[in-house]
Structure 1
Amino acid sequence: MAQRTVSLGGLAGLALLGALLSLSPAESQPPPLPKCNLQGMWVNDLGSRMFIGPLNAAGQFSGYYLAAVSAAPDAAIRESPLHGTQHPNPPRAQPTFGFSVNWSFYDSTTVFVGQCFLDENGDEFLEATWLLREEVATHADNWKATRVGQNVYVRVR
């Protein structure tokens, strides 16, 4: 009858395998990724600032926007309300969002769509594309009524 021998290295390997198999699923999974949080104060590359309030259970939020620039002639720029939404369920690590701003100092509305990202240091930033619709006097002027642009926002600390 043949005799089987097990080396100490083999026993150590079996012990390691047993330890790995005994880990609960929570212990064997990597830690959760940090998540972007839209709530707070943000500033873009032009100096415009916005505040986004807390999300409700449906993922809706409100806040205000203070533009640093305007196409409005001689407009006294004032804070303007914003209202938006992001996908609340399941919570996303880097959520997409959308919001609109009805400018309180000019007859125009802007809609923003974007995504919250985390950079390699874990700092949040928002990439957003916007469409601004300006009121025009006639249908013949419709061609010049909509502008499009992009901005990057960073959190104000």
Structure 2
Amino acid sequence: AGFASSPTGPWEIGDVIMRSGHGPSAFQSKIGPGAPPIKTRFGWLNIFHGVRSTMAGNPYSLGVAFHDLKEPTNPNKIRISAKPVLMPSRSDCMVKDSDYVHVPNVVFSCGALNGQEDTVAIYYGGNDTVMNVGLANIEILNEMCNLFPINPLTGKHLYFL
């Protein structure tokens, strides 16, 4: 991955700012981008997707992170919640063993809108067969990052139960 000030280059290699974790996490196997970041009073709200490999498959969940407004690429200033904000729990986002769906047990977001009174609308697909929308309170998302933080570069939990 890289960046440039022009489509014709020159391209520079970017630094890793978030990495999938190790150990018990909804994002232990893979992470990837979701909706473009949204500017909030807590920082840049980043809704991303993550995967945890299990014996029952590889469910995709949505995670939340807040990046510093002035230094959004500084990993030391990124707060990530270890807890997913959305999991494939609705019937249209889960499948039975007898059903065939190309991408089972998945929620995947490519869009989010800043709403009124600290809400965000998160548009997400389920199983590549439906599109849904969910509302979340930005203050609660911020609190999730404070209560259940993980290290952006190692994925290790920074909290104890």
Q: What's the TM-score bracket when you normalise by the shorter of the two chains?
A: 0.3 to 0.5
Structure 1 length-normalised TM: 0.36
Higher relative CO (Cα under 8 Å, sequence separation at least 6) belongs to 2
Structure 2 length-normalised TM: 0.35
Larger Rg: 1
| Greater helix share, structure number | 1
| Greater strand share, structure number | 1
